[in-house]
A = this chain, B = another copy of it.
Amino acid sequence: MPKKIIKIAQKMQKQQNDPVVILANPQLGYNIGAVARVMANFDLYKLRLVNPRDSWLAEETYSSASGASGILDHSGIFNNVSESISDLDCVYATTARRRDMIKEVLSPKSAAKDMRTRIKNGQKIGLLFGGEKSGLSNDELSYADTIITAPVNPEFASLNLAQAVCVIAYEFYSGITKGELGRVTESDKGRTEGLPLEKTRGANKNEYIRFIEFLEKTLDEKGFFHPVEKKNMMLNNIKAMFQRQNLTQKDIKILFGIFKHLMDE
């Protein structure tokens, strides 16, 4: 499968006010690339790195970014957290641990809602994530307006860096979209919840009844209903089975095809 390359520069222009993802002291190129990929998955494009390890920009960084390498190329590099956030209005920091600072704690879902409200009001938002080794220091965390902590296994709470970005970006994006799911291409319009019935539709009662009548006649001819005094009960069970299945018009055609073929044998 050829890798899809996403064009970042235009995206960054279009989304002036979208949240900036800031990674403090990231260590592994693989993770930084994975962050870029999942940002693009959820329509975020602005990445800043604070004091990344010297060797961060390696082949594996680009390979794990998949087609989102443009996010790496356009990322900003900063010496410390305060420089990285100086043009922002509100910073959310993620941590699973308790800190002795009194800052509001929000779940990813509530934080995403809060972010969307602030963005509507013209604020520039930053999402601050700590490095792989020990997360955010208390000093780094002190710059945050709000702490985001996810509902996680309390005994095994430390998310991989890219997974932490994934959870926040997913919640942010989920609240923006209006039920559209998955990929859209020229031949694929994407989908919403429910049965995808573009090429057919649910069978109507007439089609369903014609099929049941055909099946009853067929089974009668073959002496299936035996003993005959149980026919009604047997037929009702058969009807209930097919009724339960939310058959489509296409399904009814397939079933007609199967039974007609078996009758002709």
Q: Which residues from chain A sit less than 8 Å from chain B, CB to CB? A: 1, 4, 6, 30, 34, 37-38, 40-43, 64, 66-68, 95-98, 100, 102-107, 109-110, 133-134, 149-160, 162-163, 166-167, 170, 173-174, 177, 179-184, 188-197, 199-200, 248, 250-251
Cα separation A174 to B112 with both chains bound (whole Å) = 15
Q: Can you list 20 A-B contacts with CB-CB less than 8 angstroms, sorted by A residue number? A: A1-B134, A34-B163, A64-B160, A97-B183, A97-B188, A102-B196, A102-B200, A102-B248, A103-B195, A105-B181, A105-B191, A105-B192, A106-B193, A107-B179, A151-B174, A151-B180, A152-B183, A158-B183, A167-B170, A170-B170
Q: A102-B197, A149-B181 are in contact. List 10 more A-B contacts (CB 8 A).
A: A1-B133, A4-B155, A97-B188, A98-B182, A105-B194, A150-B181, A154-B183, A154-B190, A155-B183, A163-B166
Q: A102-B248, A150-B181, A160-B34 in contact; A193/B107 too (CB < 8 A)?
A: yes
Which chain B residues border A189 with CB–CB below 8 Å?
98
Which chain B residues border A250 with CB–CB below 8 Å?
102
Which chain B residues border A174 with CB–CB below 8 Å?
109, 151
Q: Which of A68, A98, A177, A184 has the most CB of B within 10 A?
A: A98
Interface contact A181-B38, CB-CB below 8 Å = no
Which chain B residues border A155 with CB–CB below 8 Å?
4, 6, 183-184
Q: Is chain A's binding surface mostly helix, strand, loop or mixed?
A: loop
5 closest residue pairs by CB, A with B? A154-B184, A157-B183, A149-B181, A149-B182, A98-B188
| Oligomer: number of copies | 2
A153 interface neighbour in B40, B64, B95, B194, Cβ under 8 Å: B40
Q: Which of A151, A157, A183, A200 has the most CB of B within 10 A?
A: A151
Cα separation A96 to B192 with both chains bound (whole Å) = 11
Which chain B residues border A200 with CB–CB below 8 Å?
102
How far is the CB of A44 from the nearest CB of chain B, in Å? 9
Q: Which of A96, A110, A134, A163 has the most CB of B within 10 A?
A: A163
Q: Which of A152, A179, A193 has the most CB of B within 10 A?
A: A152
